[in-house]
Structure 1
């Protein structure tokens, strides 16, 4: 029996097969829209990597500096490794073995996120019941749309992390772009039309831009007045180094009434391979047809239906990352990548290029010189220096004319790439 909108679970019972049949199974047309090298992953691994492989075949002596991927390269913090080894050893002993965790996440981890991350770092008060552990920010940022009706209009920064757009297309929801232009320091203006969901990412991937308290207050005020919800990607908040920049949307007055926040251990603790993240759904968050706490409960139900929790060993590693010693070790990791960003940006600027980001983000957003397109700049930089980035147009139409470079690699590689920039006979610009 099909459970139609408006029917309760109580009405869902097993019945004999229906007499009405479709002639055959049919494909998901929304998913079909993403085929043919239209997703970020396919573009990077096919087009970007394909061009690199073709170049290497004819330039075998050229050193290649891969700065296209946002993958980390440093080892896990020692405290994290120790905690995970201990957890694994517990699983090897029947006296200490544990199976399923709470599907919403290890209770100690959720409390540590509230206490050691939000309260100590930002003065934000949250309840552990408002925190849900996920297998990284990617899935949380896309799957969070399950909370909302299919006719809800989604606004996304342009350029933006592609999963926001791809997830919206996959769900079949209407999409509105919020252009992030150089003249506005890559901060979007408020939507000029009515939207229901607003994806914001600060520090931004790909541009590295950060928003001020006043700018975020404007979005919160808009969301509250329009009964909209902000989905705030704070994955790179640990990289903020300039003063008076919020690290969480909940530092903004009224945000708990209209915002969901997504965080991750991927970059600040090198967890890209461990897959541990979280999202916060405050009890105060409401939309048109809900009561306080209802969206939080609906996400809990969704977890029970579509997700059965993050690996318990990885969660113990995350708990250790939030300990006082773990936080010191994580800060060393962040500082390492920020040093990379500083070195690369300085080298690029000496080569005559105009750069953005790299201050509060491990990404350098480089403007293409001489009116080159994103792909033309990609090819010129590859041929001149061996440096490989991602063309800005891959992140949205407003990214045309830019290139994103990741500084999450080894510092020796960054320094070698800068030397190649310095050896150029003619400035890039």
Structure 2
């Protein structure tokens, strides 16, 4: 339960596609080398048609940039922006957002408070910022944002010529129809938001590495025109990245064609979350998340710091998590647990083994 790695096998149709793609590479007549740097056009078309279109979102393949996972995309996307930009990050935060900007040389960073009082969804910045990182469903807190809350950020970004970088990696875990799975479900978001998606959690591709970024043609930043950032991203990707594995991209196409089978894997992890959250709550612990999200954000007893919560659960239940203080100052006193694991291990920890 320590990290965000997955444990459930891939959907059979995905495995079949991977095997077929590997077989084709072994024959002269079907061998292929480098592909399109933006990603296999059939995969980009499938992302538009099978992932976004059912949500009422119209995107073009030219606006999709395939990556070898959301982690890489997070580091690469910041290269589009100047080093003097003011960056707004949630606290607690997924650490690579901060690390990517610090490594790039940025120092003007503000933090948006996420706590129990605001259900771990921050308020919009109180002053002008250039780039806002938002992650919903959230890692590490398990929080989700409503349409109204996301609309406030979109309105802010449009008003201040800011850019939202929206991490939607855990969108497949959303079961509440009232909760947006994409920032583009919010009116105006294509004018101000970049979205990062991934096959890692929605299809179990943590060992395969495949994701994407959406940079809409309508997106503008201060002193830019529509389409300029999309073209800049295309140039950046051609310089920094030689494309995701052609074999893995075939697996991604298959995953988008069998979303129900992939969703069954997600549902397995959601059941894990239900079991663990109910078990920990029965022990008297306050738990957040675990609904519409594979993470449970455990609050320790009053006066106990994150490492003490870590030690208590490790010693009493053999449960290993990540101390909340490692995600930022507002994570102190909490522990993040992942339910992307085997169900029998969770039942054993909760003394529910058959």
TM-score when scaled to structure 2?
0.98
The residue that corresponds to 1:84 in the other structure is 18
In the TM superposition, residue 186 of structure 1 has moved relative to its aligned partner by: 0.4
Distance 1:282 1:382 in 2: 45
The residue that corresponds to 1:317 in the other structure is 251
In the TM superposition, residue 172 of structure 1 has moved relative to its aligned partner by: 1.8
Distance 1:362 1:130 in 2: 29
Task: State whether structure 2 residue 225 is matched by structure 1 residue 225.
Answer: no
Task: State whether structure 2 residue 102 is matched by structure 1 residue 169.
Answer: yes
Structure ID, larger Rg:
1
Distance 2:83 2:157 in 1: 18
The residue that corresponds to 2:70 in the other structure is 137
The residue that corresponds to 1:124 in the other structure is 57
Task: State whether structure 2 residue 279 is matched by structure 1 residue 352.
Answer: no
The residue that corresponds to 2:262 in the other structure is 330
Task: State whether structure 2 residue 138 is matched by structure 1 residue 204.
Answer: yes
In the TM superposition, residue 385 of structure 1 has moved relative to its aligned partner by: 1.3
Task: State whether structure 2 residue 318 is matched by structure 1 residue 386.
Answer: yes
The residue that corresponds to 2:338 in the other structure is 406
In the TM superposition, residue 346 of structure 1 has moved relative to its aligned partner by: 0.5
Distance 1:172 1:99 in 2: 36
Distance 1:385 1:116 in 2: 42
In the TM superposition, residue 329 of structure 1 has moved relative to its aligned partner by: 1.0
In the TM superposition, residue 370 of structure 1 has moved relative to its aligned partner by: 3.1
Distance 2:102 2:82 in 1: 14
The residue that corresponds to 2:122 in the other structure is 188
Distance 1:292 1:385 in 2: 54
1:216 to 144, 150, 157: 150
Distance 1:370 1:176 in 2: 28
Task: State whether structure 2 residue 39 is matched by structure 1 residue 105.
Answer: yes
Distance 2:176 2:255 in 1: 23
- Alignment gaps of 5+ in structure 1: 1-66, 423-429
Distance 1:243 1:365 in 2: 22
The residue that corresponds to 1:415 in the other structure is 347
The residue that corresponds to 1:53 in the other structure is none
Secondary structure, counterpart of 2:200 in structure 1: coil
Task: State whether structure 2 residue 204 is matched by structure 1 residue 280.
Answer: no
Distance 1:243 1:350 in 2: 28
Aligned-CA RMSD value: 1.0
The residue that corresponds to 1:155 in the other structure is 88
In the TM superposition, residue 74 of structure 1 has moved relative to its aligned partner by: 0.7
Report the count of equivalent residues. Answer: 352
Distance 2:20 2:323 in 1: 43
